[in-house]
Amino acid sequence: MTKISTFTTNLGEINFTLHSNENLKFEKCDNRYICITKSFNIEIFEFSDIMEWQSEIAGFEIENSIGWIIRLIKTSNDKSDLKFQCVLSPKSKNVTSEPDTGESLLAVWIENETDVVSIGAEDGEMMRYRAEKNDWMPNRFKKELGYVHSGYFFNKRIEEKSFTELSDFGLKTEIPKLKNGEKFYFHYLVATNKLKKSKDYPDEYDISSNFAVDYPKWTLIKKLNIEE
């Protein structure tokens, strides 16, 4: 396991890690992590701008944030297993987590009596949309992603297929078998806030942290001025 970065919250430490069958070492330059292996060029952008973006939206402010954009280019046809994880290690037993997904969003909501942490990423539908556009997602994956119907629509449940999945207190992404030259993008977004009632809906909790982790790829790329 390679620990890429950590982020401390009131609920515990978030570890952003990579598991691989190769011995990987990252070089950090400003806000970028670079790793070149015999099979991949890996580029990771780390940023904390989400908090500033949310402060511009009245009623959806958050306390703190961090995000990672991960871009990979396959540079050979060698087989290589890569699995990324963004997971919180709870500092006490009273910290709980549950799925908190929405349209285009795969997220987990983590809380105790006073604080909340949201960790979010694109869901399978958004990954499929990018595959259809060949937007840092190979076009050949479009049939594997999104909602997969099994059997009769009314008698069978609809399952979503995504390369990013929920795990205990976080998210994990298994990189599929890529061909030489193929590109792959995904991201993890993290937002922290106090657990509090919504100003507009007093019977419900404030969900600003959930909105803060619901940014699509093209918005992140544009806001952060990252070259495609």
- 137 in helix, strand or coil? coil
Contacts of 58 (CB under 8 A, 6+ apart): none
pTM of the predicted protein model: 0.92
Q: How many whole angstroms separate alpha carbon 189 and alpha carbon 184?
A: 17
More reliable by pLDDT, 144 or 17: 17
Split at pLDDT 50, 70, 90, the class of 202 is confident
What is the per-residue pLDDT for 149?
A: 43
- pLDDT of residue 216 exceeding 50, the answer is yes
Identify whether the C-beta of residue 64 lies closer than 8 Å to the C-beta of residue 92. Answer: no
- Span 130-159, average pLDDT: 72
